[in-house]
Structure 1
């Protein structure tokens, strides 16, 4: 393999990724994802072989520009108005569910 990775993705790598994503995979799925991950890395390595000498870097294939409006100063919302549509609020703040680790 080339620039992207000189290491092949292993079944242990797939299990680790699945654990991070909090998904359960059976052995068939682990083997399938291992092949797919390695195929993706092979494609990246193939792209890495392309001759790019003298080619300007680009982030988009078309010559487009972002069209934005001018910032306009407007009256701000009061705290009460901002919280009117909140499902839950507490002590003048938005209340959201706890983030689980």
Structure 2
């Protein structure tokens, strides 16, 4: 695909960029080089080559899945706030914290 200086100026206009004539010529040579490289890469026969998920054969080291902390729900719920209104009952029901109704 051959580009011209007019094409560079149209692309710059679409991108809302101001490009001078000297900048357009420099950009034209750079884009022509990039497009030439892409054409070379597309010309390579990749039939029979399996796609890779990573450029190197790396394996992530994983640690053993071991429980390090115990369930402390009961001890946390023992220190929960009280319901209020003169009641000494904790604001806990069936293992869940009770909170005031916010949405009516």
After TM superposition, the score normalised by the length of structure 1 is 0.50
Q: Which has the higher contact order (CA 8 A, sep 6+)?
A: 1
User: Which structure has more strand as a fraction of its residues?
Assistant: 2
